[in-house]
Amino acid sequence: MMCTVGIVGGTGSRPIMRGSRREEHRVATRWGPVDVAVIFGETAVFAYLHRHGMGHTVPPHAIRHEANMAALRAMGVRDLIGINAVGSLRTDLPVGSFVLLDDFIAAQSVPPRDGPTAVRHTDVSRPYCERLRSMIARELAACPGFRSAGVMAGVVGPRFETASEVRMLRQLGADVVGMTGVPEAVAAREAGLCYAAIACVTNLGVGLNPERLRHADVELEMETIVATLVPSLIAVAAALDSSAPCPVCGMGDYCCSGLSSSPTNALNS
Ligand SMILES: [Zn+2]
């Protein structure tokens, strides 16, 4: 079964799989096996990958993004939508908002990834595919809480941020903070996938909210948000035409399969 559209979810993203027929696949990659589900929605078929593993056993800093991207590529995915639970760095971006990211800041030294086998310096002047972004924006525009642009600060985790870190990240120009979205965006680009990400605000950053932050609350909030997003995500998946090269980021001809080593995006030196 091949799927040209994929969705990657994490904490609280299970509603994407609920209520639809699905097939489970175990895909072999050079980094080890990866589980991918094929979801048969009413109007669209797409691949779903849980970035923490189907049993939610892999912490953010240990996710093998390269393996995930290679598995999705092997399933035929070209257009990939990431769904992330994030903390808000702004009080005017409340819980329940969801942000179609347009840039990121790798705010802490992110854990080393496996990375491509050859030396590559990937262009991230536009980290997210504008074709995907405009499709998603069209579908989600009418949803309450939708923001069509925003910057994610990527942190290592798995702990949450301190109040001082939240203030610092806001001053750096970020709107939301998360642990998995930034390395995933880079890995997707390195794998030659068209990638866009929807950051769902599950909590206000520490210091913006008097309550203590607990993972269980984040997960519950995320499930509510994702459940409301599912019909729109399926509409996006149904509307995507992945058969032609992407006219925006020019990624129809994959630059790196993750399964071979033929980089085309490396700088000459
Ligand atoms: Zn693209």
Range of the domain at 125: 5-239
Question: What pLDDT shows up at residue 254?
Answer: 43
Instruction: Name the pLDDT band for 69 (thresholds 50, 70, 90).
Output: very high
Contact criterion met (CB below 8 Å) for 170 and 90:
yes
Between 12 and 257, name the one with better pLDDT.
12
Determine the average pLDDT of the residues in 188-211: 90
Does some domain include residue 37? yes
Does some domain include residue 167? yes
Q: Which of 179, 199, 205, 198 is nearest to 90 (CA)?
A: 205
Q: What is the tally of structural domains in the chain?
A: 1
3-class secondary structure, 5? strand
C-alpha torsion sign, points 242, 73, 108, 10 = positive
CA of 9 to the centre of ligand 1 (A): 19
CA of 99 to the centre of ligand 1 (A): 19
Does some domain include residue 267? no
CA of 247 to the centre of ligand 1 (A): 7
CA of 137 to the centre of ligand 1 (A): 15
- Enter the pTM of the model: 0.88
CA of 188 to the centre of ligand 1 (A): 11
CA of 130 to the centre of ligand 1 (A): 6
Instruction: Name the pLDDT band for 116 (thresholds 50, 70, 90).
Output: low
CA of 192 to the centre of ligand 1 (A): 9
Does some domain include residue 251? no
pLDDT exceeds 60 at position 234: yes
Does some domain include residue 265? no
The CATH number linked to 89 is 3.40.50.1580
CA of 198 to the centre of ligand 1 (A): 16
CA of 194 to the centre of ligand 1 (A): 4
A 10 A CB-CB count for 125 gives 5
Instruction: Name the pLDDT band for 109 (thresholds 50, 70, 90).
Output: low
Question: What pLDDT shows up at residue 176?
Answer: 97
pLDDT exceeds 70 at position 68: yes
C-alpha torsion sign, points 153, 52, 84, 115 = positive
Instruction: Name the pLDDT band for 114 (thresholds 50, 70, 90).
Output: low
Average predicted confidence (pLDDT) for the chain: 84
Amino acid at 88: S
pLDDT exceeds 70 at position 86: yes
Question: What pLDDT shows up at residue 152?
Answer: 97
CA of 214 to the centre of ligand 1 (A): 36
Who's near 135: CB < 8 A, 6+ residues apart?
Answer: 236, 239, 240
Amino acid at 240: L
Does some domain include residue 244? no
Instruction: Name the pLDDT band for 154 (thresholds 50, 70, 90).
Output: very high
CA of 74 to the centre of ligand 1 (A): 18
3-class secondary structure, 185? helix
Instruction: Name the pLDDT band for 41 (thresholds 50, 70, 90).
Output: confident
Distance CA 166, CA 176 (A): 9
Does some domain include residue 248? no
Does some domain include residue 95? yes
Q: Are strands 79-88 and 146-147 parallel, antiparallel or unpaired?
A: unpaired
Instruction: Name the pLDDT band for 167 (thresholds 50, 70, 90).
Output: very high
Q: How far apart are the first and last CA of the chain?
A: 41
CA of 2 to the centre of ligand 1 (A): 19
CA of 148 to the centre of ligand 1 (A): 17
3-class secondary structure, 61? helix
CA of 189 to the centre of ligand 1 (A): 9
CA of 186 to the centre of ligand 1 (A): 14
CA of 150 to the centre of ligand 1 (A): 18
| Structure-token match 């009413």, residue found | 42
3-class secondary structure, 45? strand
